[in-house]
Structure 1
Amino acid sequence: MPLIVKDWLADHVELPADLTAERLAADLVKVGLEEEAIHGAAVTGPLVVGRVLEMSPEPQKNGKTINWCRVDVGPEHNIEGSRGIVCGAHNFAPGDFVVVSLPGTVLPGPFAIAARKTYGHVSDGMICSTAELGLGDDGAHGIIVLPRDMGFAAEDLTPGQDAIALLGLGDEVLEINVTPDRGYAFSYRGVAREYAHSTGAKFTDRGLATGAEPSATPDGFEVRVQDGAPINGVVGCDRFVTRIVRGIDPSAPTPAWMKHRLEGSGMRSISLAVDITNYVMLDLGQPLHAYDLAQVSAPIVVRRAASGERLTTLDDADRALDTEDLLITDSPEGAGSRVLGLAGVMGGASSEVGDTTTDVLVEAAHFDQITVARTARRHKLSSEAAKRFERGVDPLLPAVAAQRVVDLLVELGGGTADPAVSDLDNTAETTPQKPIALKVTEPTRLVGVEYTPEQVRSTLEEIGCTVTDGSSVVEPVETLTVTPPSWRPDLTEPADLVEEVVRIQGYDQVPSVLPAASGGRGLTAEQRTRRSVARALAEAGFVETLSYPFVGTPEYDALGLPADDPRRVSLRLVNPMADDKPLMRSNLLVTLLDTVRRNVSRGLTDLAVYEVGLVTLPWADAPAAPALPGGVRPTDEQLAALAAAVPDQPRRVAGVLTGKRELSGWWGAGRAAGWADALAAARLVAQRAGADIIVSADPDRMPWHPGRCARLELTDGTVVGHAGELHPKVVEALGLPARAAAFEVDLSVLVAAASSEPVVAKPVSAFPAAKEDFAFVVDDGVPAEAVRMAIVAGAGELLEDVALFDVFTGEQVGDGKKSLAYSLRLRAVDRTLSANEVRAVRDAVVESAAEKVGAVLRG
């Protein structure tokens, strides 16, 4: 995000003398430039200019040599004429002007300075380096010597002078957030214009051509554009300006004021030539590049990369180039084409400006937004130049920006401007500013605020548009013909112009009006069920989570899914957010378990979490989705074809339990979560959905345990989910606590199966209940649910409730057998049950259990 230094902004627009960063942020947010942060002063306290009087080298036992220095820090701060300071650097000498932080100073870090005893002396302050002041890395410079490193004249420096003001370290810097469609605000020129819109301050556009920019000459450095593979029919480069400056002093330092502005804006000072190109880019918004003229041969050729080409960029990374990459190349004598850089993104190392460069070739070009954006993303190079080109740069800026660079190189570097100028300009053909017809009533119609025709016209002219009357006899409503300025490529249709009117006139004028809700509407049955299920699980102690629906093959492997499992069939994304997760999940557990794994790895082992979300189920031989046109509404047939290509996306509910379900404490021992808890949660989901389910064993369903997995079915046999303990191999692969349990239920199927009839309240019987307990002995493989269903079938309409309360195995019931004990509650609505009625129900239950599951009543 752009960083704004106030004194630099003042070069373009009049600012109040007492303007604070907070006030500046408030003014800019009115026109849509939001405050991201305000960065406070880098240094506070007594930071002063000092003059070194004496240096005494003192070798130490550890092999290091320190300097015991006497430094004049001004009459106000001296103690008996100077201060004694210990310094380990050696790149300065007596007589040099340096920066001294006295006790009480706070440097970036924060790092507080105090007098302290070290190396046998009391060091009464610190002589500072660039890194210690937050001005960049030390490099080979070490201690700052102000005339040498910061460009100050020695006669302008005085011991005791305030170094915070001198170096600009006390200024607050505003960081703003710029939306992608407003690339012009990535410059001081653009931000100043927006400040003028907000406050009415006088704005001077320093990016307009003044006529001082020389025209192209026949002997200009030759440039050719050979874009044989334009993207979307757009040539990658439509303007390329070159200028030459000779005889630059390679040792000329970047002046302190420019360093301060660059570093305040978030850029590191490198060398004079590079700093000037960066400075002009930040100032006007036009990216530039400086080449060592001795390392470049004419002609420069702008072309697409050939297969197999490589480039070492300025960050010393060797990159394999793609055939869509737009390149800057040259043709050295006796050699083939040589790549100099990625157009609009980053230059190459072979032609960069170095310590011995005296002649510089300046490049100011205009590149296609899409081409630069794709190249930057392909190579993961989010450079400052790419940020601007991909958002749109003013095509009229290159000549102005190049002239500004030339002027600064001549002024600060002692160079001489070469009269040879090259300006390949095809912008009139490639980026014409197309007029837009706008009804003056359109802003009022879309926004609901009364804007007068004068307000509409003046606002559009204020932002730089050319406005003429476009009314006609055929169109009685006054229509304006609006031509956007060259720096606003985002203005392409009437709605864009309406947005500008609203923005400049003030968003605060737009009333906040809530639409009136139509009567008789509300939540659908599915929405009510979804909320009821989520609320029920939360009340049962589960915590709702949300996970991204993107997975990879390793996630399916961790669940132990067989190679031919239908759940491995997943929709593959063309442009996934992460290369290792290119698939859309086909089940909910695969991403929920990843959430559980992450929590467990951070020490949270007692978990009960759930998620309600969509899964994607592609089918074989699915029709291809049509490519819809842009700018117009698709036809009904196109929309139908698109809908037919969209795979099924049912909604599911999944939950996972690990560790303790009931915690231990002074009240007694806790209880570990198990398969029964997962099954109970699945039953709860079905109950809230209003669907009846049947539970049976499923011994072959990964990722569940083969002996502790329940299949959940509707009464018509439709499988709606599974619940139980996770397979030990899955638990081990995911690093989960032992005996973790889980469930997953298809909520869409449950909702569809639920009765649409309204729920009818059952009358509450006022008559007493009769209680009966049964203990049945059955084969070990008989599910408890099957016994329960047999009891329900035998008990009939008098049964009010049945619950399993004990499971027993042992010698008393025999090998391969188990005892299941159930508690029944019987009640009639209209009478007290007689002993004979209870006995009849008991006999029917015993008979039904024997007939259906082979149960024997335990004696």
Structure 2
Amino acid sequence: MPRIVTDWLGEHVELPADLTAEQLAAALVKVGLEEEEIHPAAVTGPLVVGRVLSQTPEPQKNGKTINWCLVDVGPEHNATQIKGVDDADVPAGGARGVVCGAHNFGVGDLVVVSLPGTVLPGGFAIAARKTYGHVSDGMICSVRELGIGEDHDGILVLTRAGFDAADLTPGQDAVALLGLGDEVLEINVTPDRGYAFSYRGVAREYAHSTGARFTDRGLAANLVTPPPPATADGFAVEVDDAAPIHGQVGCDRFVTRVVRGIDPAAPTPPWMKRRLEGSGMRTISLAVDVTNYVMLDLGQPLHAYDLDQVAAPIVVRRAAPGERLTTLDDADRALDGEDLLITDSLAGGRGSRVLGLAGVMGGASSEVSPTTTDVLVEAAHFDPITVARTARRHRLPSEAAKRFERGVDPLLPAVAAQRVVDLLVELGGGTADPAVGDLDATTPPQAVHLDVTLPTRLSGVDYDRATVTRTLEQIGCTVTDAVPGAAMDAVRVTPPSWRPDLTEPAALVEEVVRIEGYDQIPSVLPAAPGGRGLTTEQRARRSVARSLAEAGLVEVLSYPFVGQADLDALGLPEDDVRRTTLRLANPLADDRPFLRADLLSTLLETARRNVSRGLPDVAVFEIGLVTRPTPGTPAPPQLPVGVRPSDEDLAALVAAVPDQPRHVAGVLTGRAVPAGWWGGGRSADWADALDAARLVAARTGAVVTVAADAGTMPWHPGRCAALTLPDGTVAGHAGELHPKVVEALGLPARAAAFELDLGALIAAGGDEPVAAGPVSAFPAAKEDFAFVVDDAVPAADVRAAVVAGAGPLLEDARLFDVFTGDQVGEGKKSLAYSVRLRAADRTLTADDVRAVREGVVASAAECVGAVLRG
């Protein structure tokens, strides 16, 4: 994101003298440039210029030689007495005694001294301390210690860094001198506003926000030296893109300028270094720094070539099969047929040698070196889509690519090239070559017809015609009356060259609202139309989630990606439908390339992670989509880009989308009831999982039949139940997990789980609203039954017989005891049920209760062969 150095911004727009980063951020936020971060001053405290008065080398026992120095740091900071130094050796004006281990400076040099109380970058606080037999009363700093470079081998000598000794005085504030006290604002720029990746663009937005006077330094008329017109002897450039991709030619403008006789040893001036580094860009060499400086200033990416390493003509073309390029980052890259290249003819044929990836990064073969004296400057305009795809294909998000892919002003290349030429002449001692190349095939922006009432209708704010026109002209648009015959309220709006995003009326409306102020838009809640709300499925899903949470389970959300190891851990057979998965083309993790076909494959991993971190008592559930592809179904077709797909393409895409039913699943491990003074608690088991599954079915309104299931992994073959809908569809399973699954996942023994097809349950439950039944005011009658049945008889079958025999007076029937032993006989069990009876219109008599009892006993005997236990 762009970083803004305030004094640099002030060259484009009038700023208050006391403007803070917070105030600048507030002004930019008003026009849609959000504050990302404010970087505080790099250095605080007394950092001053010092002159070395004496330097005494002192060898140490460890083999190291240190320098004991007396440094003049100005009258305000000098000491007239220095501990360990004879008063006669202290200069009349005073000095500071400093120990320094570097040796690249000498007596008389002007250096930067951090005095006690200074805090350097990284929170490094300076204090007087005794070292090597002296009291070092400060520190002589290197560029790395000051945070303005990586050089840590020696001291920063100011005169060697480009500062004029005549402008330096001992005691002078080095914080201001080096720009280390500046706050830097970092802003967030939306993709449609690429012009704000420059000081020119940010200054324009500050002027829109505050009304400050803005001087557009991107206009040729505002340059000290206007760019000259193209000449016949300009460096030859050709664009060979006869079959453009995406319907756009890759390059529609290419400006070349030549500067000769540059001093290769000329340093980048300190003010430019400070601004570049404050803007987040490291300095390299004068020629490269100048191109980067102009890019940040105006928003036009540029490139500097060593003129001796380039042969005319330059040809801009697409890559040919098999071509490769070593870019400036020393990476060897295989080129793609869509890559737009800058080439020359040095290898013997026209366009035979690749110089760089257009708009992204140059190549190593023609880069500016420490011996370069003649420079070819390139300022071009490239197709945003081509640059964006090349940058992503090669994973090169360069500063140039960031700007080109968002849209660069096509009128800037000549202006930006002239600025580079002027700076290289001024700072490098070069001479501008009169030859100028400018291949220009740009087209003016297309006008947009705008109904001036549209901003009011879309925003709710009353904007009159004059306001709309004035605001659009303020951002650089040309507004004229619409063509004859158009609506009276329509105007013709031609966007400025730096706003390629303004291509439709809605974009112009956004500009009107943005400049006039988002805060003017009223906050009005829309009226909710009657008869709308949550669908039946949405209400059912919320009811299920709420009920499971009330039952003690915690809702979680797991990533829907699985691998072969996850499916193997569940013990799924090779022909199991859950092994038919959809493979992702670009998975987040190589070991999980598939979309899950069931919830437990990912939910069990959530439970395992919690258990492994010391939380054995887990009760979690998840509601989510699973993917069930049909074997043999072709993959979705690759749809065209830039045009609307045909109806046939869209139909093929829809047909290839796999079924994605919504499931609900839960996992329970450890204790369902914790131990305490009240007792030993209770472990979660298959019955808890089955109860949770029944609860889900009840909340959806679906009627399910519960029966034992002995062959479905990952459940235990003897402690698993299948829940079946009336049409015979198995809606899911619940029960204890298989011991091998528990062992493979590292879960506590007897862990339980359930998984149901929530969509099928909701569909089976219907969409009829639940009607509340009448509540009887008459007392209930209670009866208990204990039946002896075979071990193989399910308790659910016995309960169904009890319900059938009790008739309409039954209010509830619950199993409260299961008993096996010698008293009931081998192969038998006793099931005890509590039955509650109630009538809606009367108090039940003894005869009513007796009739129900006889009916229950008879039904149980007939249906399941139950015998009433005495």
**Residues 800-824 of structure 1, C-alpha deviations (whole Å, 9 max, x = no match):** 4344445566788788x57464331
For the residue of structure 2 that corresponds to 1:36, the secondary structure is strand
For the residue of structure 2 that corresponds to 1:534, the secondary structure is helix
1:118 equivalent to 2:131? Answer: yes
Contact 2:256 2:436 in 1 (8 A): yes
- State which of 667, 671, 695 in structure 2 corresponds to 1:684: 695
* Shift in CA distance, 638/325, structure 1 to aligned 2, threshold 3 Å: closer
Contact 1:585 1:615 in 2 (8 A): yes
Contact 1:784 1:820 in 2 (8 A): no
Contact 2:377 2:417 in 1 (8 A): yes
CA distance in 1, matches of 2:43, 2:338: 47
CA distance in 2, matches of 1:342, 1:391: 17
For the residue of structure 2 that corresponds to 1:146, the secondary structure is coil
The 5 A counterparts of 1:381-780 are: 381-428=396-443, 432-472=444-484, 474-549=485-560, 555-571=566-582, 584-597=595-608, 599-600=610-611, 603-619=614-630, 621=633, 647-731=658-742, 734=745, 736-755=747-766, 756=768, 758-764=770-776, 766-772=778-784, 774=786, 776=788, 778-779=790-791
Which residue is equivalent to 2:91? none
CA distance in 2, matches of 1:332, 1:818: 98
**Residues 12-48 of structure 1, C-alpha deviations (whole Å, 9 max, x = no match):** 1111112121111111111111112222112111122
CA distance in 1, matches of 2:649, 2:390: 32
Query: What is the percentage of aligned positions where both structures have the same residue?
Result: 74
For the residue of structure 2 that corresponds to 1:232, the secondary structure is helix
CA distance in 2, matches of 1:135, 1:345: 27
- State which of 156, 159, 168 in structure 1 corresponds to 2:167: 156
CA distance in 2, matches of 1:306, 1:636: 34
Offset at residue 366 of structure 1 (A)? 1.4
- State which of 374, 379, 385 in structure 1 corresponds to 2:389: 374
**Residues 221-265 of structure 1, C-alpha deviations (whole Å, 9 max, x = no match):** 333323366321222222222222222222222111111111111
More deviation in 18-27 or 107-116? 107-116
For the residue of structure 2 that corresponds to 1:192, the secondary structure is helix
CA distance in 1, matches of 2:148, 2:584: 45
**Residues 65-121 of structure 1, C-alpha deviations (whole Å, 9 max, x = no match):** 443333222222222322233333333333222222222222222222222333443
For the residue of structure 1 that corresponds to 2:246, the secondary structure is coil
CA distance in 1, matches of 2:858, 2:459: 76
Contact 1:216 1:423 in 2 (8 A): yes
* Shift in CA distance, 717/89, structure 1 to aligned 2, threshold 3 Å: farther
**Residues 366-424 of structure 1, C-alpha deviations (whole Å, 9 max, x = no match):** 11111111122222222211111111111111121111112111211222222333222
For the residue of structure 1 that corresponds to 2:146, the secondary structure is coil
- State which of 296, 312, 320 in structure 1 corresponds to 2:334: 320
1:100 equivalent to 2:96? Answer: no
CA distance in 1, matches of 2:617, 2:356: 55
Contact 1:777 1:813 in 2 (8 A): no
Aligned AA (1:26): A
- State which of 160, 170, 175 in structure 1 corresponds to 2:181: 170
Contact 2:581 2:629 in 1 (8 A): yes
1:132 equivalent to 2:145? Answer: yes
Offset at residue 651 of structure 1 (A)? 2.8
Which residue is equivalent to 2:220? 209
CA distance in 1, matches of 2:745, 2:237: 59
Contact 2:347 2:353 in 1 (8 A): no
**Residues 687-728 of structure 1, C-alpha deviations (whole Å, 9 max, x = no match):** 111222222233333343444433222132222222233445
Contact 2:8 2:275 in 1 (8 A): yes
CA distance in 1, matches of 2:673, 2:157: 69
Offset at residue 670 of structure 1 (A)? 4.2
Aligned AA (1:363): E
Q: For the aligned residues, what is the CA RMSD? A: 3.4
* Shift in CA distance, 606/163, structure 1 to aligned 2, threshold 3 Å: farther
Which residue is equivalent to 2:90? none
Which residue is equivalent to 2:67? 67
CA distance in 2, matches of 1:61, 1:833: 108
Aligned AA (2:264): P
Contact 2:141 2:155 in 1 (8 A): yes
The 5 A counterparts of 1:766-805 are: 766-772=778-784, 774=786, 776=788, 778-779=790-791, 783-805=794-816
Contact 2:4 2:186 in 1 (8 A): yes
Which residue is equivalent to 2:42? 42
TM-score by length of 2: 0.89
Contact 2:637 2:649 in 1 (8 A): no
Which residue is equivalent to 1:254? 268
Aligned AA (1:413): G
Which residue is equivalent to 2:295? 281
CA distance in 1, matches of 2:830, 2:415: 91
* Shift in CA distance, 427/658, structure 1 to aligned 2, threshold 3 Å: farther
TM-score by length of 1: 0.90
CA distance in 2, matches of 1:55, 1:455: 70
1:3 equivalent to 2:18? Answer: no
Offset at residue 654 of structure 1 (A)? 2.4
CA distance in 1, matches of 2:6, 2:550: 55
Contact 2:788 2:824 in 1 (8 A): no
* Unaligned ranges ≥5, structure 2: 81-93
For the residue of structure 2 that corresponds to 1:370, the secondary structure is helix
Which residue is equivalent to 2:159? 147
Which residue is equivalent to 1:824? 834
* Shift in CA distance, 837/232, structure 1 to aligned 2, threshold 3 Å: same
* Shift in CA distance, 293/506, structure 1 to aligned 2, threshold 3 Å: same
Which residue is equivalent to 1:54? 54
More deviation in 729-738 or 406-415? 729-738
* Shift in CA distance, 617/88, structure 1 to aligned 2, threshold 3 Å: same
* Shift in CA distance, 72/459, structure 1 to aligned 2, threshold 3 Å: same
**Residues 291-314 of structure 1, C-alpha deviations (whole Å, 9 max, x = no match):** 233333333332223333333332
Aligned AA (1:48): V
Contact 2:254 2:438 in 1 (8 A): yes
Offset at residue 765 of structure 1 (A)? 5.7
* Shift in CA distance, 664/225, structure 1 to aligned 2, threshold 3 Å: farther
CA distance in 2, matches of 1:274, 1:11: 22
For the residue of structure 1 that corresponds to 2:388, the secondary structure is helix
Which residue is equivalent to 1:33? 33
CA distance in 2, matches of 1:734, 1:298: 67
For the residue of structure 1 that corresponds to 2:245, the secondary structure is coil
Which residue is equivalent to 1:197? 208
CA distance in 2, matches of 1:224, 1:240: 9
* Shift in CA distance, 757/447, structure 1 to aligned 2, threshold 3 Å: closer
Aligned AA (1:589): L
Aligned residues: 850
Aligned AA (2:428): G
Contact 2:812 2:837 in 1 (8 A): no
Offset at residue 489 of structure 1 (A)? 0.6
CA distance in 2, matches of 1:407, 1:275: 14
Contact 1:313 1:348 in 2 (8 A): yes
Contact 1:246 1:360 in 2 (8 A): yes
* Unaligned ranges ≥5, structure 1: none
* Shift in CA distance, 707/837, structure 1 to aligned 2, threshold 3 Å: same
1:223 equivalent to 2:214? Answer: no
CA distance in 2, matches of 1:848, 1:119: 103
For the residue of structure 2 that corresponds to 1:461, the secondary structure is helix
